[in-house]
Amino acid sequence: MSPKQSNRDRAWRRLVTFVMDGRWDWRHKMSEAAGLPFSRVRALDRLRHGPLTLRMLADVIGTDAPAATVIVNDLEARGFVVREAHADDKRSKVVSLTADGRRVLKDADTVRDRAPAAFDVLTDNEVSELSRIVDRLGSE
């Protein structure tokens, strides 16, 4: 492995650790506001912009189909989603939010996702540079 790649891998691992460690408090607050485990809030959030097949939902929440089925079963039992046969493929199921599901999302949306206190050590110029770098990474 080249030193350049090693530095990139190290930077990536440190960034992932920083972000993941910083998300625990936010995830807990989101779960508390919604009254649901975070996995359920994440699934509802992914349905915010429209229905998804069960397979697509599994992909966007980063899980497999059986785990997504468990999540959807729970959300359906709570009245937050409905599951219907796909119009073109009767073997597929399409999952949609209900009005109650949208209400739960609205409650969860009250939780602000603020920068962690560690950002306070950065100058305004450093924050601008970090934003520029992240924007560049996102455009690839």
My answer on whether 30 and 44 are in the same domain is: no
My answer on whether 44 and 100 are in the same domain is: yes
CATH number at residue 53: 1.10.10.10
Distance CA 34, CA 16 (A): 26
The answer to whether the CB of 138 falls within 8 A of the CB of 130 is no
My answer on whether 132 and 100 are in the same domain is: no
Query: Scanning the structure block, which residue is given the tokens 């597929």?
Result: 92
My answer on whether 90 and 114 are in the same domain is: no
pTM across the whole model: 0.75
Give the count of domains, the chain: 2
My answer on whether 71 and 131 are in the same domain is: no
* pLDDT exceeds 70 at position 140: no
HEC string of the chain?
A: CCHHHHHHHHHHHHHHHHHHHHHHHHHHHHHHHHCCCHHHHHHHHHCCCCCEEHHHHHHHHCCCHHHHHHHHHHHHHCCCEEEEECCCCCCCEEEEECHHHHHHHHHHCCCCCCCCHHHHHCCHHHHHHHHHHHHHHHCC
Q: Which residue has the higher pLDDT, 1 or 94?
A: 94
Q: Which pLDDT tens digit goes with each residue over 22-41?
A: 788 888 998 999 999 999 99
Band (105; pLDDT cuts 50, 70, 90): very high
Q: Which pLDDT tens digit goes with each residue over 47-96?
A: 999 999 999 999 999 999 999 999 999 999 999 999 998 888 778 889 99
Task: Please give the residue range of the domain that contains residue 27.
Answer: 1-34+110-140
